[in-house]
Structure 1
Amino acid sequence: MIDVIDMKLIAEKSSLLSASDLVACNLVRGMDFGDVWHCHPACEITLVRRGGSERWVGDTLEPLAPGDLVFLGPELPHDYRNTPLPNQRPKPVEAIVTHFMPHLLGEEWRTLAVMEPLRRLFERARRGLRIGGRTRDHAEAILLKMVRAQGLRRLILLLELLDLLSRSKQLTAISSEGFLLKPRTSSSDRIGAVCVYIEQNLTSTIRVTDLARMVGLSESAFSRLFKRCTNSTVPQYINRLRIAHACRLLAETDLTIAEIIRQCGYQSPAHFQRQFQKIHRRPPQTYRRALRE
């Protein structure tokens, strides 16, 4: 069963796994990946072995190359494309696609100290993770074994892969932090509450003074705490959220650019255009056109 959101994003409700499978690992071959702009409740690890033109994850559209390997958390919108160059035929694609549910190991494991690296990996995967370097090479070798394995052996290989990824320093986030469908957990309850407030009031004017007063801190103390917890200033954080929200509206609605600017809380169209270009290296009109080609 699927839901269509604004006739763009396809939200898959049914599991991608059969009733007897804990881990699905399939070899995809053909003239396309069989994808549309969609999300689902399962985690996904995809290795592109050949073919493909772009990978769209969250608010980030990037070119595909053989060997591309990513780990996507649940409910993260994504799409793999195989768009041919003008006057050329599409080339065949080949990929290994693995799906498993985030509660594969139950719920209690998240509270165990020994599982902290894995918990952090799953948290980071909510933005999508690009896997590179020697980690990518080792992960590819495991995936090649997984696609041939069945049952318990496949599960053991997945755990080996997750252990490898949880210890690696060669993973980079794909989508912007602002694209997360849920507020990120914060090391500070007060800053977490502020982040929720910001996300719920993006269309309004948000002042640092008001946020500091909300949590009972001076403006300078609040700004230092916010920077420590989010790795950004308040204006930078708000701007990332607004641009990420704009990306969703560009992708999933037919609103005009002017309407999107208003819905994202920008007072100046020129400022919005500059900020969008700075983050995505293209104007919003080109961004929308690229997604829909």
Structure 2
Amino acid sequence: MDPLLLKVKKTETDSFSVNHFKYHGSFPGLWHYHSEYELTLIIKSSGTRFVGDHIDRYTENDLIFIGKNLAHTWKTDAALPDTDVFSEALVIHFREDFLGKMFFSTPELAEVEKFLRMSRRGMKIIGQTQTQVISHMYQIGSLSGVEKLIKLLQILSLLAGSEDLMFLSSDGYSQYINENDNDRLNKVHAYIMDSFKSQIRLTDAADIAHMSPTAFSRYFKQRMQKPFSQFVIELKVGYACKLLMQHQFSILQICYECGFQNVSNFNKQFKQYTELSPKQFQLKHKSLRLQASLYQHQVQENL
């Protein structure tokens, strides 16, 4: 398995990197961290996003800011057979000292420095700020020199002054980096993400980590700030939400596709995490989609 610590590449003429990644099929899905800050825009893909101990669904235009040394990955949904699917993302990486060790300590950048400190938990960018930052990100790829640098500073200024930010990882999530521990956790994450549609056993995960079930249970909860069983169920429920919103499968089919053993348990676990039954969730989404469609139709009529 690849090392968990990744080295971010940039050219010799750039102090920070801007990359347009395009993969045939899925994103690599490697649970990793690095010393650079990261701003990621999902151009094309959907699936499950992991940031620290936070798990959530992502779709196109998902915009996330990742603090330095915060573990993260994007796990793409499995494509349907015989489909030609691509996953695309626009990603900016920069080091804290890319403009000098004291640059962000200057009085004019006090708010930006505060934002960077807060980013240790990871942030989802929403609302008007999301729209503005996405526009800047599409522009920055065509710029060079001073104009490129100014564009990045404009993005950071927008983020630092915005209230359209949602924290992702919990405040208590450990920032301590240990190479051996992360290699172990990397292997466990790979097992969970590859197998969450089936029955995942704590004993199997403990074997992968070369620990006893009791020791592994304590270890996982300490590192992820939640029990192993909760982590797995949240992942399954997130995938179930995605399938329910597609309105292509029955609740029974979704139950077994997400790895639940029976409908009764599926309903119980789903309601615990969403406060709705699967059927209620599906009907609510259908109603919201209908309202949005009617609103769009009214807007077009008034044009």
Contact map agreement 2:52 2:169 (CA 8 A) in 1: yes
- SS of the aligned residue for 2:5 comes to strand
What TM-score results when the alignment is normalised by the length of structure 1?
A: 0.61
Match in the other structure for 2:157: 163
- SS of the aligned residue for 2:85 comes to coil
What is the number of residues matched between the two proteins? 211
Residue segments in structure 2 that go unaligned for 5+ positions in a row: 178-184, 191-207, 239-257, 259-303
1:146–1:265 CA distance, 2 compared to 1 (3 A): closer
| In 2, Cα distance between equivalents of 1:70 and 1:164 | 14
| In 2, Cα distance between equivalents of 1:112 and 1:261 | 45
Match in the other structure for 1:145: 139
Contact map agreement 1:28 1:95 (CA 8 A) in 2: yes
Deviation at 1:135, TM superposition (A): 0.2
Deviation at 1:87, TM superposition (A): 5.0
Match in the other structure for 1:113: 107
Is 110-119 or 160-169 further displaced after alignment?
A: 110-119
Match in the other structure for 1:175: 169
The percentage of counterpart residues that share the same residue type is: 23
Contact map agreement 1:59 1:248 (CA 8 A) in 2: no
Q: CA RMSD in A?
A: 3.4
What CA deviation, in whole Å up to 9, does each residue of 1:39-60 have, x standing for no partner? 1111111101211312221122
Instruction: Map residues 131-280 of structure 1 onto 2, 5 A cutoff.
Output: 131-182=125-176, 251=189, 254=209, 255=211, 257-263=213-219, 277=230
What TM-score results when the alignment is normalised by the length of structure 2?
A: 0.59
Matched, 1:77 2:33: no
Contact map agreement 1:37 1:77 (CA 8 A) in 2: yes
Residue segments in structure 1 that go unaligned for 5+ positions in a row: 1-6, 184-246, 267-271
- Which residue identity lines up with residue 160 of structure 2 in the other structure? S
- Which residue identity lines up with residue 233 of structure 2 in the other structure? R
1:264–1:35 CA distance, 2 compared to 1 (3 A): closer
Contact map agreement 1:96 1:147 (CA 8 A) in 2: no
1:25–1:262 CA distance, 2 compared to 1 (3 A): closer
Matched, 1:30 2:23: yes
| In 1, Cα distance between equivalents of 2:156 and 2:174 | 22
What CA deviation, in whole Å up to 9, does each residue of 1:219-256 have, x standing for no partner? xxxxxxxxxxxxxxxxxxxxxxxxxxxx8895386245
| In 1, Cα distance between equivalents of 2:99 and 2:214 | 46
1:8–1:108 CA distance, 2 compared to 1 (3 A): same
